[in-house]
Structure 1
Amino acid sequence: MSRHGRAVAAPGRDLRAGFRHDRGDGGAVVPQGLLKAARKSGQLNLSGRELSEVPQMVWRINLDLPEEANQNHSFNASERWWEQTDLTKLIISNNKLQSLSDDLRLLPALTILDMHDNLLTSLPCAIGELENLQKLNVSHNKLNILPEELTKLRNLKGLFLQYNELTCIPEGFGQLHRLEDLDLSNNRLTAVPASFSSLSNLMRLNLASNQMKNLPAEITRIKKLKHLDCTSNYLETIPSELACMESLELLYLRRNKLRFLPEFPSCILLKELHVGENQIEMLGAEHLQHLQSIHVLDLRDNKLKSIPDEITLLQALERLDLTNNDISSLPHTLGNLPRLQFLALEGNPLRTIRRELLNKGTQEVLKYLRSKIKADTANQNDTPTETAMTLPSQSRVNTHAMMTLKLLDYSEKQTALIPEEVFDAVGSNAITSINFSKNHLNEIPKRNNLLASLPEEMEALTKLQTINLSFNRFKTFPSVLYRLRTLETILLSNNQVGSVDPVQLKQMDRLATLDLQNNDLLHIPPELGNCVSLRTLLLEGNPFRIPRAAILAKGTDAVLEYLRDRIPT
């Protein structure tokens, strides 16, 4: 007899029986070998097995005598079933489950429960007994109500309920004090509980694609909130207190009914503001003066008629989208924004910028605007003066050094800006060294287009947050960047990078934006999906086949989720 009182099988029983596909409850097929492996690893993946219900053997995996214990052979040290590991991770996604048994309480050690893409209309009350649960994914189901018992999961850090049919949220949600990531997008919510203000550790809240007409002011008391997405609702206004959320870094308000841009008196950390596809008519200095950390400003598809000169206050701005507004002219000073890499102007009745110039791209438009500043200055002084944008003569650029020494020398000019004509003079010469010494530069010129590697000494830049290496000649991801754990933004588009290391990227827990557009990536490693800190991942323009363009179009969260689902188990 076994320790559970079961008779040991008679001699001659088929020793392979424990590894066959045995049928559980409801005709479900679960390989015994998979269950055996799960007892060792504590992880069980039953994704995509056409399950209409979870077999009883799964719920009782740590209780019942395993099949292999009945075999008439001795176990080595690695096969001692009585030394099994409690199941901590269960994936039953991409099946046909319509309900779950209360027997899930028999897996109290679970820390991860993934049930996305099923047909669940409700969750059992017993889910509240999984007191060790840290991540619960029930996205892409048919939930129309949540049990109050869900609020007992006090160790929960990630809760994913997107793409369901929820109309309300239990008031007790405020008890989930350890919750860091909450996704309620693509439901039917008209409001969220005021108790959300008690979610003291919440950093990411996604309320996109619901039916909300307003946000409770209490939501602004979530002190650690960094990412708030309210895209595709019916918001006409937002609480003024929202502007005072000092931790907020990414704010998505696209596709609503806003008529005014909120004023941000103290959001010194706000890096991305997306208010496209609203009804905003006016942009004033009061809306811009405190957005000095902003990297991305999306104002597309509104009713703006002008852009104020105060746009130059946004010294950190990298992307400005003004597509489809009513703008007839731009302030010339826009050309002086030092970090601006992307400027979208299509769909505006611009009178001063020709379409063929717009078609040449951002840098040509900015160059044109800077030239107009020069013209304005010359007109004011009645006498033309040489500026940093004056076309350099051949004597100012050492062409001999470029051809023989592969050196671009523009030193001792006492200038604060390297003219673009200096880079144009490079032509087809292969440059390996640059000398810009003894000038007044306050940043690395953006248009070098020459870098193929970074010095290891950069590891000493222990406070670096943003690096822009776009339009260069990198063939590999610079290894030194992996060691700069303070980096929040890496722009590496338009290079020749062939691969990235997802394991090292995951360790960069502050990395929020990674731009790898227009490189030579033939393969996107599924493990990249584990980089949960990423809020913006840009992969378009690479030759890989998977993920498909339709997945990329759904945005960063969808891409990461897709990649995570493809991680081998």
Structure 2
Amino acid sequence: MAKGKKSRQSKSRTVTLKMAQNCVELTLNGKRRLDLSFKEIATVPKCIQKLCDMDELDLSRNLIRKIPDFIDHFINISVLDLHSNYLEQLPVTIGRLQNLQVLNLCNNRLMSLPHELGLLKKLHTLNLGLNQLEALPASVGALKELRHIGLSDNRFTRFPVCLSRLDKLEKVNLDRNPILTEQMPGDESLMIKERLYLVKESFLCDDCLKNCQTERKKMEDVEKAESPN
């Protein structure tokens, strides 16, 4: 179970269209946001399709297990907040949210991500912390506007090589993942966890840059060797 969630999910609320309309608010920068956070809902209400002209959609801190395919009706949203739910997968239709800039999926039960995630060409912030991910789809390497990605508290054992193709990426948070860095004598199961961040090349001295480029080439060679012909 994701952290900080209630163990009982039997009592789920129903949200009517009128209730949802009362949850529409105006942000400080003039955006219209549908805020359905903390509503104890287990299912995304079908009625919110009538409010699909929103700029932002917040469904965080609920009991939601599945995002319906009709999420692609919210074609204008730039922010989609789904953190702290019970999501185990995402619909492929999420790839149709072409205006999405911020996607928060932190604190769910995701074990994999759809290839269509790589279609979100305007995405600059992606939070996947506190899930059960072991790898990212290669299509994430197509998110050329991505600047920040949160991967903490997952199951990554190595740095996702697809991120090395993202020139605008400024920060990668891989805290508290079982990144294998060193085997200690006498204990083959011991793994050292370390903090890993991505920085721009311009921040590094010549020697550090050369070392990073060498390590990057090694990772790419490993990826090629492991990929099917």
Same-fold call, TM cutoff 0.5 = yes
Aligned residues of 2:176 and 2:193 also touching (Cα < 8 A): no
Unaligned runs of 5+ in 2: 1-11, 182-190, 210-229
- Structure 2: distance between partners of 1:243 and 1:102: 36
Confirm or deny that 1:92 pairs with 2:59.
yes
The alignment yields a C-alpha RMSD, in angstroms, of 2.9
Q: Is the 8 A contact 1:138 1:161 kept in 2?
A: yes
Distance 1:265 1:148, change over 3 A: same
CA distance in 2, matches of 1:157, 1:166: 20
TM-score by length of 2: 0.71
Q: Does 1:145 align with 2:112?
A: yes
Q: Which amino acid aligns with 2:192?
A: Y
Aligned counterpart in structure 1 of residue 84 of structure 2, from 99, 117, 141: 117
TM-score (norm 1): 0.30
Matched residue count: 183
SS at match of 1:90: strand
Does residue 58 (structure 1) correspond to residue 58 (structure 2)? The answer is no
Matched residue SS, 1:95: coil
Deviations, residues 102-137 of structure 1 (Å, cap 9, x unaligned): 110111001000011001011111100101000000
Instruction: Report which structure shows greater RCO (CA 8 Å, sep ≥6).
Output: 2
Contact map agreement 1:170 1:193 (CA 8 A) in 2:
no
Matched, 1:213 2:169: no
Residue in structure 2 matching 1:247, options 190, 200, 203? 203
Q: Which residue of 2 aligns with 1:108?
A: 75
Please list the CA deviations of residues 367-417 of structure 1 after superposition, one character each: whole Å capped at 9, or x if unmatched.
xxxxxxxxxxxxxxxxxxxxxxxxxxxxxxxxxxxxxxxxxxxxxxxxxxx
Change (3 A) 1:244 1:196: closer
Residue 45 of structure 1: aligned partner: 35
State the distance in 2 between where 1:115 and 1:37 align.
16
Q: Taking structure 1 as reference, are residues 178 and 266 closer, same or farther at Cα in structure 2, changes over 3 Å only?
A: same
**2:87 paired with 1:129:** no
- Checking the alignment, whether the CA contact within 8 Å between 1:184 and 1:207 is kept in structure 2 is yes
Hey, what's the Cα distance between the residues in 2 that align with 1:243 and 1:166? 23
Q: 1: CA distance between counterparts of 2:123 and 2:19?
A: 31
Quick one: distance in 2 between partners of 1:132 and 1:108? 7
* Alpha-carbon contact 1:143-1:165 (below 8 Å) kept: yes
Q: Shift of the alpha carbon at 1:246?
A: 3.7
Bigger Rg, which one: 1
Instruction: Find the counterpart in structure 2 of residue 234 from structure 1.
Output: 192
Amino acid at match of 1:53: T
CA contact (8 A) 1:131 1:155 kept: yes
Deviations 1:478-531 (A, max 9, x none): xxxxxxxxxxxxxxxxxxxxxxxxxxxxxxxxxxxxxxxxxxxxxxxxxxxxxx
Code of the residue aligned with 2:124 in structure 1: it is K
CA contact (8 A) 1:139 1:164 kept: yes
After superposition, where does 1:215-364 map in structure 2 within 5 Å?
Answer: 234=192, 245-247=201-203, 265=207
Aligned in 2, Cα 1:134/1:243: closer, same or farther, shift over 3 Å?
Answer: closer
Distance of 1:244 and 1:100 partners within structure 2: 35
> Which residue of structure 2 aligns with residue 29 of structure 1?
15
Which runs of 5 or more residues in structure 1 are unaligned? 1-25, 63-85, 215-232, 249-262, 268-569
Confirm whether residue 171 of structure 1 aligns to residue 129 of structure 2. no
Q: Is the 8 A contact 1:169 1:192 kept in 2?
A: no
How far is the alpha carbon of 1:92 from its aligned partner?
A: 0.6
SS of the counterpart of 2:44? coil
SS of the residue aligned with 1:136?
A: strand
Tell me, yes or no, if the aligned pair for 1:28 and 1:54 is still in contact at 8 Å. no
Q: Deviations over 1:230-281 (max 9, x none)?
A: xxx7369x9xxx9994426xxxxxxxxxxxxxx99458xxxxxxxxxxxxxx
Structure 1 stretches (4+) deviating beyond 3 angstroms? 242-246, 263-267
Aligned to 2:215: none
Query: Hey, what's the Cα distance between the residues in 1 that align with 2:21 and 2:73?
Result: 16
Deviation at 1:158, TM superposition (A): 0.3
1:29 CA drift (Å) = 2.3
Query: Tell me, what secondary structure is at the counterpart of 1:29?
Result: coil
Task: Find the counterpart in structure 2 of residue 227 from structure 1.
Answer: none
